[in-house]
Chains A and B, each alone.
Chain A
Amino acid sequence: MALIELSGISKSYQVGQTSHPALRDVTIDINEGRLATFIGPSGSGKTTLLNLIGCMDKPSSGEIRIAGTRTDTLNRRQAAAFRGESLGFIFQSFNLIPVLTIYENVEYPLLMINPTPAPERKERVIRVLEAVGMLEHKDKRPDQASGGQKQRVAVARALVTNPKVVLADEPTANLDQQTAHKIISLMREMRDAFGTTFIFSTHDPRIVEHADEIHTLEDGRLQDNEAPLQKGAVHA
């Protein structure tokens, strides 16, 4: 059984009297421990799809199962609990809390979402910060870190609760090419180190070579490619 199962997912947004379809009949399975990516141009439905997998939105039709749990029927509270327990998030703009240090940002989910005893909390925060190479910067504030460093911290924060799946919406969009490659490589390393499934979206085909599987979205429809693209191939 796949870790993530999407079956006939459609999502439309109502703007005035008009219905705008964002996703059309998407069916896909993603297995555990994979580094999967959704690529496609802006407006193709990548973010909508990640929001649906991330239990932050509900599909207009279709079913979503993650680790055997039907997530499209969860209420607000249940969805929040599921996210805290099973999912990690990496954002395009890093979304680190500016008044907290890097250590405190990573510690936050273990304080607020999955309360963890202090000694274990410290051990886990240090372990993930070390894994992403940010331990020496742990006392800095986010505004004292570079874009790449911030995203490393975001990766650490996403991993610190040991989620089954980490979702990353355009994690490299605010990074230069070299740093972007490093972040995707880091995600791959973390996948190997922690066994976590990573799903990221991008509209940049140059960084998808690290992915185990690639899914292309166009106008809300899923295309059928799964194998990594050859270097130089361009979607969009």
Chain B
Amino acid sequence: MRSIFKIALRNMTRYKRRTILTSLLIVLGVTMVVLFSGLAGSVKTMMIGIITDSNLGHLQIHKRGYVSSIDNLPLNLNLEDKAYGKLAGVLDGNPDIESYAPRIKFGAILSNYAESTNVRVTAVDPVRETMVCPGLSARLVDIPPGYSGPLLEPGEVIIPQKVAKGIGIKPGDDVVLVATNSDGSVNGMRFTVSRLIEDIMGPGGKDAYMHIDDARSLLRTDKGEVTEVVLRMGGATDLDTVKKRLGASLGEFKNKKEMPIFEVHTWADLSPFSNIANMIELLIITVKIVMIAIVLISVLNVMLMSVFERVREIGTIAAMGTSPSKILALFVAEGFCLGLLGTALGLFLGVAGLLVIKASHVTFSFGRMDNLLLRPQIDMAELAIIAAMVLAASALAALQPAWKASRMEPVDALGHV
């Protein structure tokens, strides 16, 4: 086998033009895939990071049945004080969970005394919320770079930028929020607009924010009642795995109907962006398929040409006693080596391209977020998969021409003009 690879490599270096042309096509395909995977994958990861870090968290736990009614923001599906206590007991001892934060969500009427509009409100514990969603502050409008102060204080409210613009509210203004609680009674409280916040994709992406204690006063609820608990993962454990583990741990808590009290969802279960993320994955797979097609066609073409050009050589080596299996192995090895050369160069150029893009500090916009810094990256496993795919495609493409060569009768091949 060593001799076969030695001869295959030597043939590659001697048939220079053929080697260069084929390798160029493979290099182009591999470079394209590495660049695309690195860029698209990074954009996807960044977007997921923005969505999870500034709004959804990694996992959310609700009272069973809440998510199917999430658009109505039902207050009668909040977790009661006792249930939240049980949940906190499980979460506090869980090594997978870095932090968690309770939220109350409800609908309200926002008034600036002249106009009013409906808003969705997320009430948070500012300290815990910042630990779970460290990127939330970054959505605040006109916030100084590196701001590390409190998200908001009691008596303050953060208003979505579009809502504020619609009814002419600016930071510092007084507003009134009117809400109906789960008993049907209406209450209103005055707040000061502390800041405006940019919208983001997904549930809660256009919510106003207020302090959780204020929400309890406004809604006149029990002290420990919450709508949802948002979780931030600590390690690199797969979200779905943690979701399963948590589901199992929380499954022991049943309601009077012997049904589980809690339901656990990942960010992807809740956000429509997961579909976009899946589409990006699909695009990456499509590009990989195109690349494999390029490799297959180029190697197949060049190896077919090679067999055709080297009929007399094949006849000669067959006449001298080279076994059909060795002739087959020789041509497959040549195809494989072409793939190897193209892959090595393509991976090098692709990774180099990603590094150049990274060093160039390219920025882009996502929705209303501008100047997002592109940080392309690709992991070794992804590179290994690309390399394995190209090498397999190269060997596969060389198989048919190699088979053709190995089946040639020496007498016929020697007589070829």
Chain A, 44-69, CB within 8 A of any chain B CB:
51, 54, 56-57
Chain A residues within 8 Å of B325, by CB? 77
Report the nearest A residue to B4, measured CB to CB: A112
Answer yes or no: A194 CB below 8 A from chain B CBs.
no
Report the nearest B residue to A84, measured CB to CB: B321
Chain B residues within 8 Å of A83, by CB? 319-321
Q: State which of A89-97, A122-130, A131-139, A224-232 sits at the interface with chain B.
A: A89-97
Answer yes or no: A234 CB below 8 A from chain B CBs.
no
Q: How many residues of chain A have a CB within 8 Å of chain B? A: 31
Query: In the complex, are the beta carbons of A109 and B321 less than 8 A apart?
Result: yes
Cα-based distance from A84 to B320 in the complex (angstroms): 6
Q: State which of B152-160, B309-317, B356-364 sits at the interface with chain A.
A: B309-317
Answer yes or no: B38 CB below 8 A from chain A CBs.
no
Query: In the complex, are the beta carbons of A112 and B324 less than 8 A apart?
Result: no
Chain B residues within 8 Å of A15, by CB? none
Chain B residues within 8 Å of A97, by CB? 313, 316-317
Query: In the complex, are the beta carbons of A80 and B323 less than 8 A apart?
Result: yes
Answer yes or no: B318 CB below 8 A from chain A CBs.
yes
Answer yes or no: B162 CB below 8 A from chain A CBs.
no
- Give 1 or 0 for each of B1-39: 1 = CB within 8 Å of chain A CB: 001101100110011000000000000000000000000
Chain A, 4-61, CB within 8 A of any chain B CB:
51, 54, 56-57
Instruction: For residue B173, give the distance in angstroms from its CB to the closest CB of chain A.
Output: 83
Given contacts A99-B11, A99-B15, whether A108 and B411 have CB atoms under 8 Å apart is no
Report the nearest A residue to B312, measured CB to CB: A95
Query: In the complex, are the beta carbons of A112 and B322 less than 8 A apart?
Result: yes
Chain A, 86-107, CB within 8 A of any chain B CB:
87-89, 91, 93, 95, 97, 99-100, 104
Query: In the complex, are the beta carbons of A85 and B14 less than 8 A apart?
Result: no
Given contacts A77-B323, A80-B324, A99-B14, whether A112 and B7 have CB atoms under 8 Å apart is yes
Answer yes or no: B233 CB below 8 A from chain A CBs.
no
Answer yes or no: B414 CB below 8 A from chain A CBs.
yes
Report the nearest B residue to A51, measured CB to CB: B411
Cα-based distance from A97 to B316 in the complex (angstroms): 9
Query: In the complex, are the beta carbons of A108 and B323 less than 8 A apart?
Result: no
Query: In the complex, are the beta carbons of B316 and A91 less than 8 A apart?
Result: yes
Chain B residues within 8 Å of A113, by CB? 317, 320-322, 326
- What are 22 pairs between A and B in contact, CB < 8 Å? A54-B319, A76-B324, A80-B318, A80-B321, A82-B321, A84-B320, A84-B321, A84-B323, A88-B320, A89-B319, A93-B312, A95-B316, A97-B313, A99-B15, A109-B320, A111-B3, A112-B4, A112-B322, A113-B320, A114-B321, A115-B3, A161-B321
Q: Which residues of A contact B (CB under 8 A)?
A: 51, 54, 56-57, 76-77, 80-85, 87-89, 91, 93, 95, 97, 99-100, 104, 108-109, 111-115, 157, 161
Q: A84-B321, A97-B317, A113-B322 given. 10 additional CB < 8 A pairs?
A: A56-B411, A77-B324, A81-B321, A81-B323, A91-B319, A93-B312, A99-B15, A109-B321, A112-B3, A112-B330
